[in-house]
Amino acid sequence: MIRRTTCPTCRKHVSTANDNPWRPFCSERCRLIDLGEWMNGNRQITSGETMPEAVRPRDPDIKH
């Protein structure tokens, strides 16, 4: 059974079949647009949880 979903970038209907090389996107263009948004920091996954201070990365102590 072929299921359909929407492209996360342009919202067109796309097939989730294995023969769609860009799934879940409709095209390579939409895939690259999405990648660019992630790399620019415009997209992120938020969990709603904050990282405890003990495991939060710190800036290295730089002495001049």
Instruction: For residue 12, give every residue at least 6 positions away whose Cβ sits within 8 Å of its Cβ, in sequence order, or none.
Output: 6, 26
> Which of the four pLDDT bands, split at 50, 70 and 90, describes residue 4?
confident
Average pLDDT over residues 17-46: 87
Q: In whole angstroms, give the CA distance from residue 57 to residue 60.
A: 9
Q: Are 41 and 50 in contact, with CB atoms under 8 Å apart?
A: no
The more confident residue out of 43 and 59 is: 43
Looking at residue 17, its pLDDT comes to: 79
pLDDT above 90 (res 56):
no
What is residue 50's predicted lDDT score, i.e. its pLDDT?
64
- Model confidence at 61: pLDDT above 70: no
What local confidence, expressed as pLDDT, does residue 27 receive?
93
Topology of 4-39 in CATH? Erythroid Transcription Factor GATA-1; Chain A (3.30.50)
